[in-house]
């Protein structure tokens, strides 16, 4: 038999799936893969039910239903002051994942260089490589996750087609400051590069921090592709409704990729997300306030047990250093150990790095009901005796 594609087949099963399966097998509380254990806002779910029952069930327009595209344009204006033309600058995708793939397939020519910042979300590198891109990796290191400006500058060249930027960042929960974004913007201008901005956690920032899209910096409006996800904004990750905002010159080619990947996204869910995006500011504020309480509960509990806990500025995740617990093994051993023995699953942070070197950090997800977090902490405390 002839061989299959060598790029994709060189990857194993994603760590999120691996840890979730292990959690299920051992009846563990799953603080590994990042998804909430609730059922999302009931009015948004009710809107979807209504649209499902009352006839939004056939192929919608390839670009997404106009009401959702208008709602995305309005969100851009309401939160970031961006003037966006919904008809030529917004497209709906099947989740942030498809938005990323469509954007990367649309922009990258074989041999183009792509700057990626580690820790890396799992889909980035495989898609860049499958598109023929040459990855230039820049590493953020725990515990401070500082942007190494010299290394970043060295990763850029005149062959750089784009940088892929994730803020708030999974798994390390870093929120890029305006100064850091300005450094990135300067390099993009110097090397005439684009940015694919993965902003799926844009509404999940804590301690009063504000999300700043790179697209809002001077000179960046036409260089950036901004990606959002209803999965995170409405705590409904299985819906897989995402959206892309970009100038028409970039959105056109991205739509070409989208039309051959998924073409459309369920219209009933799109309509419910449009309803959700038009909710009052209080919805968005309480989303991050409630999550911040969960973050604090989990962070304090893990500290008491003996973990070293890194600061979390946004997203669903806390990174911990487990060395103070005296565990003998690497991060993957540790995450398997606590899943099978303490029955609490986490994800090894080393899975987000190429080439090793980060081996004693575990990521815990906190977008989980408080009672369940308390139970998970009890299990870990009983196991480690903290
Ligand atoms: N980017 C990052 C950084 C993520 O954590 C996720 C979460 N799953 C995605 C993209 C994908 O989002 P979606 O579920 O909307 O495809
Ligand atoms: N974004 C989620 C996480 O980081 C998982 C999404 C997925 O499984 N693809 O855990």
Residue 123 has pLDDT above 80, yes or no: yes
Using the mean position of ligand 2's atoms as its centre, give its distance from the Cα of residue 243 in Å: 17
204/337 same-domain check: no
Say how many Å lie between the CA of residue 201 and the centre of ligand 1.
8
In whole angstroms, how far apart are CA 311 and each of 158, 206, 297, 304? 35, 11, 13, 15
pLDDT reported for residue 327: 95
Report if residue 189 sits inside a domain: yes
Residues 35 and 57 in one domain: no
Residue 47, in any domain of the structure: yes
Asked if residue 370 belongs to a domain, the reply is: yes
CATH classification of the domain holding 367: 3.90.1150.10
If asked whether residues 171 and 275 sit together in one domain, one would say: yes
User: pLDDT-derived band of residue 140, with 50, 70 and 90 as boundaries?
Assistant: very high
* Bridge partners for 198 per DSSP: 166, 227
pLDDT of residue 144: 93
Q: Say what percent of the chain tops pLDDT 70.
A: 100
Give the residue, by CA position, lying nearest to ligand 2 atom 4: 34
Beta carbon of 96 within 6 Å of any ligand 1 atom: yes
Confirm if 273 and 349 have CB atoms less than 8 A apart: no
For residues 327 and 198, state if they share a domain: no
Q: Residue 189: pLDDT above 90?
A: yes
- Taking residues 39-66, report their average pLDDT: 96
Q: Which of 260, 281, 302 is the last residue of a domain?
A: 281
Q: Is the bond preceding 171 in cis, omega lying within 30 degrees of 0?
A: yes
Q: Answer yes or no: do 83 and 67 share one domain.
A: yes
Do 258 and 360 fall into the same domain? no
Q: Which of 9-18, 126-135, 312-321 has the lowest mean pLDDT?
A: 9-18
The preferred substitution site among 33, 119, 173, 242 for testing ligand 2, maximizing ligand atoms within 8 Å of CB, is 33
In-domain check, residue 1: no
> Are residues 28 and 144 located together in one domain of the fold?
no
Among 55-59, 63-67, 103-107, 344-348, the least confident range: 55-59
The number of domains in the chain is: 2
- Strand order of the β-sheet with 224-229 is 90-93, 242-245, 224-229, 194-198, 160-166, 113-118, 134-139
Of 281, 309, 324, which residue constitutes the final position of a domain?
281
- pTM as predicted: 0.97
Residues 97 and 229 in one domain: yes
Would 147 be classed as within a structural domain? yes
| 323 found inside a domain | yes
Ligand 1 centre to CA of 238 (Å) is 11
Residues 226 and 307 occupy one common structural domain: no
Q: Find the 96 Cα to ligand 1 centroid distance in Å.
A: 5
What's the mean pLDDT when you consider all of the chain?
97
Transcribe 123-184 into DSSP letters.
THHHHHHHTT-EEEEEE--TTT----HHHHHHH--TTEEEEEEESSPTTT-----HHHHHHH
221 inside domain: yes
For 228-237, the pLDDT digits (tens) are 999 999 999 9
Residue 262: which CATH number? 3.40.640.10
Looking at 281, 299, 328, which one is the last position of a domain? Answer: 281
- How far apart, in whole angstroms, are the C-alpha atoms of residue 141 and residue 319? 12
Tell me the mean pLDDT in the region 132-159: 97
Is the pLDDT at 386 greater than 80? The verdict is: no
- Angle at CA of residue 68, ends 212 and 170, nearest 5°: 40
> What's the pLDDT tens digit per position in 236-269?
999 999 999 999 999 999 999 999 999 999 999 9
Tokens 């684009």, located at residue: 194
Report CA(75)–ligand 2 centroid distance (Å): 24
The arithmetic mean of pLDDT across residues 22-29, rounded, is 98
In a domain, 297, yes or no: yes
Q: Residue 113 above 90 pLDDT? A: yes
- The distance in angstroms from the start CA to the end CA of the chain is 55
pLDDT of residue 385: 83
Residues 268 and 302 both lie in one domain? no
Q: Identify whether residues 129 and 206 lie together within a single domain.
A: yes
* Domain membership of residue 276 as a residue range: 42-281
Rounded average pLDDT over 104-114: 98
Say yes or no: 310 and 245 in one domain. no
95, 102, 211: which to mutate for ligand 1, most atoms within 8 A of CB?
A: 95
């Amino acid at each position: 038999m002839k061989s299959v594609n060598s790029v994709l087949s060189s990857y194993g099963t994603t760590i999120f799936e691996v840890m979730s399966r292990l959690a299920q097998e051992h009846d563990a509380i799953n603080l590994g893969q990042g998804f909430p254990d609730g059922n999302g806002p009931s009015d948004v779910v009710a809107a979807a039910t209504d649209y499902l029952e009352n006839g939004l069930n056939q192929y919608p327009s390839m670009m997404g239903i106009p009401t959702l595209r208008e709602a995305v344009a309005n969100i851009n204006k309401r939160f970031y002051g961006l003037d966006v033309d919904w008809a030529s600058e917004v497209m709906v995708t099947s989740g942030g994942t498809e938005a990323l793939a469509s954007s990367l397939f649309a922009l990258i020519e074989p041999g183009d260089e792509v700057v990626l910042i580690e820790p890396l979300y799992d889909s980035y590198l495989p898609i860049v490589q499958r598109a023929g891109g040459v990855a230039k990796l820049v590493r953020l290191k725990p515990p401070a996750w500082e942007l190494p400006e010299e290394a970043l500058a060295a990763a850029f060249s005149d062959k750089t087609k784009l940088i892929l930027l994730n803020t708030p960042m999974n798994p390390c929960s870093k929120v890029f400051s305006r100064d850091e974004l300005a450094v990135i913007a300067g390099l993009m201008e110097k090397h005439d590069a684009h940015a694919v901005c993965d902003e799926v956690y844009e509404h999940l920032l804590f301690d009063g921090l504000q999300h700043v899209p790179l697209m809002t910096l001077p000179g960046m409006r036409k260089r950036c592709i901004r990606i959002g996800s209803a999965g995170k904004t409405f705590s409904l990750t299985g819906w897989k409704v995402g959206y892309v905002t970009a100038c028409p010159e970039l959105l056109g080619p991205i739509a070409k990729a989208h039309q051959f990947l998924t073409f459309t996204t369920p219209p009933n869910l799109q309509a419910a997300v449009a309803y959700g995006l038009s909710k009052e500011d209080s919805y968005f504020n309480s989303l991050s306030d409630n999550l911040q309480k969960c973050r604090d509960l989990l962070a304090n509990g893990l500290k008491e047990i003996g973990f070293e806990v890194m600061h979390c500025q946004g997203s669903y995740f806390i990174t911990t250093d487990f060395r103070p617990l005296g565990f003998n093994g690497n991060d993957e051993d540790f995450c398997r150990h606590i899943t099978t023995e303490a029955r609490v699953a986490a994800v090894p942070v080393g899975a987000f790095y190429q080439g090793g070197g980060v081996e004693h950090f575990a990521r815990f997800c906190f977008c989980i009901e408080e009672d369940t977090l308390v139970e998970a902490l009890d299990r870990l405390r009983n196991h480690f005796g903290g």
